[in-house]
Amino acid sequence: MKIEEVSKTKYIGTTVTRDNVIEEEIKERIAAGNQASFANQKILQSELISKKTKMKLYKALIRPVVVYGSYCLVLTENIKQ
Per residue in 2-56, pLDDT (tens digit) is 888 888 887 777 777 777 777 888 888 889 999 999 999 999 999 999 999 999 9
- Pairwise pLDDT comparison (64 vs 80), residue with the higher score: 64
The pLDDT assigned to 20 comes to 73
22 contacts: CB under 8 Å, gap ≥ 6: 73, 74, 75, 79
User: Mean pLDDT throughout 50-63?
Assistant: 93
Q: Which of 76, 61, 57, 70 is nearest to 28 (CA)?
A: 70
Q: What is the pTM of this model?
A: 0.70
Sign of the alpha-carbon dihedral angle for 47, 52, 53, 57: positive
